[in-house]
Amino acid sequence: MWPAVIVASLSCYVIKVVGISLPRRLLDNARVMHVAELLPVALLAALIATQTFTTKHALHLDARVAGVVAAVGAIRLKAPFLVVVVVACTVTALMRL
């Protein structure tokens, strides 16, 4: 586990240092900016999908789905971050009782 912790930490730090030290020219490139804007959207959506609907290598629907649906409701009601997470956990736990 340590190698992954160190590699992830180092690479994220290096990205930050490179960004703050580079000339601004890259920011004027519309395509680069467009990819940069869409990258977190695609990654977060894929993380949500896989962590909600799959276990190991198969689609697997369980109580998590109810928890995440409840989280969508909480977000729609503009609930603060921690409330969204607690609602998701609580609903998932209750479904497992």
Partner 1 sequence: MAAPEQTELLEADPHWPTTRTSVLRDAIGIGIATGAYGLSFGGISSTSGLSVLQTCVLSLALFSGASQFALVGVIGAGGNPMTGAATAALLGVRNGFYGMRLAGLLRLRPRWRPIAAQLVIDESTAMAIVRESRPAARLAFWATGISVFVFWNAATLIGGLAAHALRDPRTLGLDAAAPAAFLALLSPRLRRREPRAVALLAAGVALVSVPFVPTGVPVLLAAAVAVVAGVRPTPEVPPDPAGRPDQVPA
Tell me: does residue 77 bind partner 1 (CB under 8 A).
Answer: no
CB of 2 vs partner 1, minimal distance in Å: 7
Determine how many CB atoms are found less than 10 A away from the CB of residue 7.
10
Say whether 1 sits in a helix, a strand or coil. coil
Tell me: does residue 54 bind partner 1 (CB under 8 A).
Answer: yes
Tell me: does residue 61 bind partner 1 (CB under 8 A).
Answer: no
Residues 12-51 within binding reach of partner 1 (CB under 8 A):
12-13, 15-22, 24, 26-27, 30-31, 33-51
**H or E element that contains 7:** helix 2-21
CB of 76 vs partner 1, minimal distance in Å: 9
Distance CA(14)–CA(53), nearest Å, equals 33
